């Protein structure tokens, strides 16, 4: 963790090779967006708190923060914010350091 955030590489991979390394990397979302994921229960992009918190983020971007709504005790909430659907034939891969 660095400044309360996990150090991660997050990006899309081919769904037939889900353990491969992402070719490109998503940036970290804004602090407001990540705070929305941390406070929302459940911590999903469809939650109204997340929607309102991430409205200024273009996406795709990611958050990996300690949850504050009782989810993931001792762990992190990892989420991707994007506008629209994920790319067809792709899966999102998170690789984070402890």
Predicted confidence (pLDDT) at residue 31 exceeds the cutoff of 90: yes
Bridge partners, residue 90, by sequence = 14
Whether the CB-CB separation of 95 and 79 falls below 8 Å is answered with no
Please give the average per-residue pLDDT across 19-25, as a whole number: 90
Answer whether the bond into residue 42 is a cis peptide, omega within 30°: yes
Q: Which residues contact 31 (CB under 8 A, 6 or more apart)?
A: none
Mean confidence (pLDDT) of the chain: 86
> Which phi and psi angles does 14 have, rounded to 5°?
-65, 135
* pLDDT surpasses 90 at 98: no
| Token pair of 3 as six digits | 């400044």
């Amino acid at each position: 963790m660095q400044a309360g955030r996990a150090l991660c590489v997050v990006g899309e991979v081919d769904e037939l090779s889900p353990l491969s390394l992402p070719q490109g990397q998503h940036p970290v979302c804004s602090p407001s967006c990540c705070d929305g994921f941390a406070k929302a229960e459940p911590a999903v992009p469809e939650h109204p708190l997340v929607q309102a918190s991430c409205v200024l983020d273009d996406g795709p971007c990611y958050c990996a923060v300690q949850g504050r709504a009782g989810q993931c005790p001792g762990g992190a909430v990892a989420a991707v914010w994007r506008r629209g659907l994920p790319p067809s034939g792709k899966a999102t891969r998170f690789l984070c350091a402890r």
